[in-house]
Structure 1
């Protein structure tokens, strides 16, 4: 029996006998499971390889985040070094060492 058949039977049972809490919970559970399966299929993640695909994508995303953080740290380090070098140059000029620069 498929999920669609199970859901149809539960809805028919609720219509014929009235709805008690157990039947209502079963309807909600079957409908949510069916909706989740449909959503995964529409996204292309309904096959057996979906779990490994998602794990691989998470690894790739983690590596991207690490690379991005490293690039920002390196860029900030170079900017700080350049500012410090300019500051030292300005101090040297101010102290009268301009003739050494020329």
Structure 2
């Protein structure tokens, strides 16, 4: 008897062929996946497209957040450099203030 012909022992003492057991597991996994998709509201056949759109939205949010931080750092750096230049100009009396 080969491995594929040997019966699999299951909890309720039934003897199943390996192919039958694999088919049962595949069917149970498919039903479980369908229940999860239904629970998430993605059961209408457009789940792949919806998940792709959600991922795109999440990527866009991450890009926007990264860009906001980069902009903040650039504005802060530019402000500090401008303040240093104005301070140096005042110290060197290049601004035309009181002599």
Determine if the TM-score, normalized by the shorter chain, exceeds 0.5. yes
Match of 2:25 in 1: 28
Structure 1 stretches lacking a partner, 5+ long: 1-13
Q: Tell me, what secondary structure is at the counterpart of 2:45?
A: coil
Specify which structure has the bigger relative contact order, considering alpha-carbon pairs within 8 angstroms and separated by 6 or more residues.
1
TM-score by length of structure 2 reads 0.66
In the TM superposition, structure 1's runs of 4+ consecutive aligned residues that sit over 6 Å from their partners are none
Give the structure with the larger helix fraction.
1
Give the structure with the larger strand fraction.
2
Give the drift of 1:93.
4.0
TM-score by length of structure 1 reads 0.65
Match of 1:80 in 2: 77
Structure 2 stretches lacking a partner, 5+ long: 1-11
- Offset from partner CA, 1:18-70 (integer Å, 9 cap, x none): 13432332222111111111010011001123333223223322322222222
